[in-house]
Amino acid sequence: MSPVQPIPSFIPVIGFLDDFLVLFLGAKLLQRIIPADVLAESRQFAEAAETRRKEEVTSSARTVAGLAIATVWLLLAVAASGEIAAYISH
């Protein structure tokens, strides 16, 4: 994630910790750099957007479409796993 890789990412767990550290320090730096009035205004916009999102009614079409997509994905994943297992066993 960062252009500087003190620890390679392919090393399990430890390899990603430097990426998280860079992100964390970057977020802290941005909080210090951004003027307080801009940060307060952005937080108000975010709170207003969250309130609008909570007020929206989830439509049944959205739910059905989500379930259909999840079902198709699951079926394809099972089929692909079966194909891979069949290929390996031969």
- Same domain flag for 41 and 76: no
Number of independent structural domains in the chain: 2
- Same domain flag for 15 and 3: yes
- Same domain flag for 67 and 42: no
Give the domain range for residue 31. Answer: 1-56
- Same domain flag for 33 and 63: no
CA distance 21 to 24: 5
> pTM of this prediction?
0.42
Question: For the chain, what is the total number of helices (H) and then of strands (E)?
Answer: 3, 0
pLDDT at 33 over 70: yes
- Same domain flag for 43 and 86: no
- Same domain flag for 28 and 52: yes
- For 40-83, write each residue's pLDDT tens digit: 999 999 999 888 877 665 677 788 888 999 999 999 999 999 99
Q: Which two tokens stand for residue 39?
A: 């940060």
